[in-house]
Amino acid sequence: MQRILFYGGLTVLLAGGVVYATHMPGHSHTGELPPETASVRAAGLELETHVVALSAEIGEREVGRADSLTRARRYVEAELRKIPLPAGAQIEAESLGADGSDAENMILELPGERPDVVLIGAHYDSAPGTPGANDNASGVAVGLYLASSLATASAEQDFENTLRLVFFANEEPPYFQNPGMGALAHARGCAQRGEKIVAMLALESLGFYSEAPGSQRYPWPVGLFYPDRGNFVGFVGNLGSRSLVRQAIGSLRAHAGFPFRRSSTTGRHSGRGLVRSLGVLAVRLPGDHGHGHRRVS
């Protein structure tokens, strides 16, 4: 009897944890997507241009592969400099120093009424042996599109918080979770400067969409709670970021006719593919390897 009560209680606890981690406000869009508008088509062409430039024209992007990473960084910087910026906005290059083979993050910062920072990030390098179209030229493309849109919005109305878009170098192995990783170096710098990061959204692998059954797979038992089609945008965050993820998904479900789903975890992750507080990420960094300088221009 005690064993039955124990396992029954454990089952209830696990079920409650799953509900707590995955229940979101609103309802995910189902059925046909809204008709494509002219503005959506134009956005699609712009996103495709960025993805092709990074993954097809440059290709594999990593330190040590000729000047591929430098070319990718220059492309991102050139696109940022095409954007008409409001007063006070800055474009900066952040060196990762010797640990990161002198690679650079690219930063666009749009001033707000308060110094608190909302950070949006995407890594522009690719995994060894791949052109990285989905992972992560697609995330960079979305980041560049947001940079242009948000700069326009900032010129028309002041943001409540400072908005920072960071395009990270060195997110893939051998730098992943090691000294010289772009996101870790930036987080260390935020902590050293005493900045308050109130939200961080990492744009990761946003270029894949399929209605085909079996096009999306998960490890057991996660697959019991999610569809088997890769036709949605997923939000992944740790439990400490639950309120942020709920706010983001609730807003998108209310205003966008596209499926959005969420997952929470309790473990440690990189900044990639997560909606989480960079303040939390910063205090979890291993070791003290210093922080690269930033070039302002």
Query: Is the separation of the CB atoms in 155 and 111 below 8 Å?
Result: no
Beta bridge mates, 118: 163, 199
Question: How is the chain split into domains, by residue range?
Answer: 34-203+277-296
Q: Torsion-angle region of residue 242: left (phi > 0), alpha (psi -120 to 50) or beta? A: alpha
pLDDT band at 294 (very low <50, low <70, confident <90, very high): very low
- Is the peptide bond prior to 136 cis by the omega test (within 30 degrees of 0)? yes
Question: pTM for this one?
Answer: 0.84
| CATH assignment of 34-203+277-296, among 3.40.50.300, 3.40.50.11900, 3.20.20.70, 3.40.630.10 | 3.40.630.10
Tell me the C-alpha distance between 69 and 64, whole Å.
8
What per-residue confidence (pLDDT) applies to 264? 54
List of residues 6+ apart from 113 with CB closer than 8 A:
158, 159, 160, 161
The residue among 11 and 221 whose pLDDT is bigger is 221
φ/ψ region of 194 (left if φ > 0, alpha if ψ in -120 to 50, else beta) reads left
Per-residue H/E/C for 24-37: CCCCCCCCCCCCCC
pLDDT tens per residue, range 163-176: 999 999 999 999 99
Take residue 95 and report the two structure tokens written for it.
């060196």
150 close to 110: Cβ distance less than 8 angstroms: yes
pLDDT of residue 16: 59
264 or 165: whose pLDDT is higher?
Answer: 165
Model pLDDT for residues 25-70, shown as the tens digit of each residue: 677 878 888 888 999 999 999 999 999 999 999 999 999 899 999 9
Q: What is the mean pLDDT of residues 197-217?
A: 89
- Average pLDDT, whole number, for the chain? 82
Which of the two residues, 19 and 48, has the higher pLDDT score?
A: 48
